[in-house]
Amino acid sequence: MRSSLALVATVALVGCATSPPPNHVPFNVSMLPADCRNRQIMLDWLESQSRLPQHRSESTQDFQRTRNEIRKKIWDIRYNCQPV
């Protein structure tokens, strides 16, 4: 669990410090586990990623696909980790 959290933090920090190459592959958010113990950290990070504007080298289709994956992952974490 700690290694996946460290990976998320590293990706967030490195992603903000560098610009992606012209034909970059969007980060696959669906690969993140639904970690209920670190629910709030993951939700905060995903919500901050969803607020990032489209990068000029990113196609609109890739941008929308990534945003949809982020929204789905947020929903999945909330559904699985915050049962009614």
Q: Which residue has the higher pLDDT, 53 or 2?
A: 53
- Tens-digit pLDDT profile for residues 30-60: 777 878 888 999 899 899 988 988 888 888 9
The answer to whether 69 and 29 are in contact (CB under 8 A) is yes
Residue 11: partners with Cβ closer than 8 Å, 6 or more residues away: 27
Q: Which residue has the higher pLDDT, 13 or 33?
A: 33
What is the structure's pLDDT at 35?
A: 81
Q: Which residue has the higher pLDDT, 15 or 9?
A: 9
Task: Please report, to the nearest 10 degrees, the dihedral formed by the alpha carbons of residues 31, 4, 13, 72 taken in order.
Answer: 30
Per domain, the residue ranges of the chain are 2-81
What is the structure's pLDDT at 24?
A: 43
Query: How many whole angstroms separate alpha carbon 4 and alpha carbon 35?
Result: 9
Q: DSSP letter at 84?
A: -
What is the structure's pLDDT at 10?
A: 74
